[in-house]
Structure 1
């Protein structure tokens, strides 16, 4: 299992679900649009710090980015 690809897929799904562009997410996180795009393509690993910034900007639990099955109610309860 490639966790970079899992993170990329979940980030893109969550961002689209919140109807945000990469540019808007970059602005909210203080990261570059290029960096956001690289993470979404699975080319760059997000550090824990970056994962936290993205999680805050999207108002989601950071575990949702690493969930193979996507968001679950169990992840939100713990």
Structure 2
């Protein structure tokens, strides 16, 4: 799994766990909603500053957004957003 895919998966999972829409996360992090969508679709790689802002809003460490899932972990359900 490439690092962009790891970020996309973790970002989506943390966002959905907090029941945040892409739009609400983007607003709180002062980032455009389409950029959040692009990150979750592996279109763009986030800068360290963006990672830090997203992590702050989500209440996690930036490293958590880049942490690879355990090999035996079940995949997260597909997003509808």
Could you say which TM-score interval applies, normalised by the shorter chain? 0.7 to 0.9
- Number of equivalent positions: 70
What secondary structure does 1:26 align onto?
Answer: helix
Aligned Cα RMSD in Å?
Answer: 1.0
TM-score (norm: length of structure 2): 0.82
Note if 1:60 corresponds to 2:60.
Answer: yes
Q: Distance in 2 between matches of 1:67 and 1:59?
A: 15
Counterpart for residue 27 of structure 1: 27
Q: Which has the higher helix share?
A: 1
Q: Which contiguous aligned blocks of 4+ residues in structure 1 show a shift greater than 6 angstroms?
A: none
User: What residue ranges of structure 2 are gaps of 5+ in the alignment?
Assistant: 71-81
User: What residue ranges of structure 1 are gaps of 5+ in the alignment?
Assistant: 71-78
